Amino acid sequence: MENTQSNILHEEAQHHIVGGVNSPSRAYKGVGGGTPVYMQRGAGPYFYDEDNNKYIDYLAAYGPIVTGHAHPHITAAIKDQAEKGVLFGTPTALENTFAKMLKEAIPSLEKVRFVNSGTEAVMTTIRVARAYTNREKIIKFAGCYHGHSDIVLVQAGSGPSTLGNPDSAGVTKGTASEVITVPFNDIQAYKEALKVWGDEVACVLVEPIVGNFGIVEPHPGFLEEVNRLTHANGSLVIYDEVITAFRFTYGSAQQLYHIEPDLTALGKVIGGGLPIGAYGGRVDIMEQVAPLGPAYQAGTMAGNPLSMRAGIACLEVLQQKGIYEEMDRLGKRLEDGIITSANNYKMDVTVNRLKGALTVYFTNKQVRNYTEAAATDTQKFGEFFHLMLEQGINLAPSKYEAWFLTITHTDKEIDNTLKAVDYAFKKMSRC
Ligand code: PMP
């Protein structure tokens, strides 16, 4: 596959944009290097690079593009709104419409606020939880990504009773000392953390289905126990559903598992591909937020008409009957086909899948937490990634990310993908 234009553009980008990319995960660091492919156009499950090579897309822009690229209903809504004005700085009826749609889909959102990214949504839920509880520490699960605000850029300490270390230069030790990190799916460690830090803990931040060290589901009863123990401790439960909301069902993980947190952070899919975030939850907690309460949060672009229209249109598309079932069916075909090829070539591969999202790990072991995900073979994933890309299959360039199906993928794309997987495994098994 010829990548002349991507090479030229990436060379140019290095002169103007830090590292040539506007988000580090777009560089191919996690897959042994290479030039990122520069895309110029998307249509349904496909996109086309600057050399006009065609790819089947499983990146879905790291999650948001669940309706496929340039969905006509969403595109029409964006065009229509662009002609009417994109930003007013006043309230609009669109914000009410969209807030009501979100509340109907996710009933724990008694009140919501729109922001501009998942990062902002999570960051603000933490502020609100601190304001409500008058406590400062937070607990998070190791390896879970919650955006790039200081407080969540903190790595695991060496055990549940130790505090975190900054995961990025520029995050202060003081900030890191407010964070306790425990392994996902380990209720014993969570109990211990609460025992040690108890009345200092404002909230726990939970990705109810992990999407950031691959797709990892909670063990049965894990979320219920986290809720019970947290509330008994006088702390709040925050669900980061930036990836999970509207990915697996019309609604969020809360609807899948019949469980409710106190606060929820949203982003990605709810913007139909435009920048967005939202947070919400129990009314008495949300009333901490200005102008009603003492917790400040604001935004020039928050609730902007363009994102509202795209989000409303996206949810309208997702209300169609049967689409999540179809993504599940196609996801199962992918999973089964990948495992069959892996067995044929005696490759150690584990697939974690939930409906239309899956992760392919190069290991013969189960992956239930970050340590297990980290221990999978990075080099093999890198080889696999590049072999797939050469065959026109675009995956996320990291072993920790998911493959995301869209409502526009069909059996044809799955067949072609499985052929490419088979070829890649065959080549890898001979090296
Ligand atoms: N939370 C989760 C679970 C995420 O996956 C992400 C982004 N990958 C974020 C928060 C941050 O969202 P954004 O990139 O929109 O700031």
Ligand 1: which of 21, 148, 264, 268 to mutate, most ligand atoms within 8 Å of CB? 268
- 279 a catalytic residue: no
Atom of ligand 1 nearest to the CA of 144: 3
User: Based on C-alpha coordinates, what's the Rg of the chain?
Assistant: 21
Strand ranges (E), 355-425: 357-361, 393-394, 403-404
Local confidence band at 420 (pLDDT 50, 70, 90 cut-offs): very high
Q: Whose CA is nearest to atom 9 of ligand 1?
A: 147
- 268 a catalytic residue: yes
Q: Which pLDDT score is estimated for 155? A: 76
321, 82 in Cβ contact below 8 A?
A: no
Hey, what are 180's tokens? 């306790």
Ligand 1 close to Cβ of residue 267 (< 6 A): yes
pLDDT per position as a tens digit, 203-222: 999 999 999 999 999 999 99
Q: What is the mean pLDDT of residues 269-293?
A: 98
Q: What is the mean pLDDT of residues 122-132?
A: 98
pLDDT per position as a tens digit, 242-268: 999 999 999 999 999 999 999 999 999
Q: Which pLDDT score is estimated for 166? A: 81
Residue that the structure tokens 């460690």 belong to: 189
- Domains plus CATH for the chain? 72-318 (3.40.640.10)
Hey, what are 28's tokens? 């191919």
Q: Which pLDDT score is estimated for 357? A: 98
- 199 a catalytic residue: no
Atom of ligand 1 nearest to the CA of 212: 5
pLDDT per position as a tens digit, 231-241: 999 999 999 99
User: SS3 sequence, 234-252?
Assistant: CCEEEEECCCCCCCCCCCC
Residue that the structure tokens 């890191």 belong to: 176
> Ligand 1 mean position to 395 CA, how many Å?
18
pLDDT per position as a tens digit, 329-342: 999 999 999 999 99
10, 34 in Cβ contact below 8 A?
A: no
> Ligand 1 mean position to 175 CA, how many Å?
20
Q: Which pLDDT score is estimated for 224? A: 98
318, 246 in Cβ contact below 8 A?
A: yes
Q: What is the pTM of this model?
A: 0.97
ipTM of predicted assembly, 2 dp: 0.99
Say if residue 159's pLDDT is above 70. Answer: no
Hey, what are 285's tokens? 């907690």
Atom of ligand 1 nearest to the CA of 62: 8
Burial label for 332, CB within 10 Å (0-12, 13-18, 19+), is middle
Burial label for 292, CB within 10 Å (0-12, 13-18, 19+), is exposed
Q: What is the DSSP letter of 355?
A: T
Q: Whose CA is nearest to atom 7 of ligand 1?
A: 147
Which among 400, 24, 23, 355 is positioned nearest to 212, based on CA atoms?
400
Q: Which pLDDT score is estimated for 154? A: 86
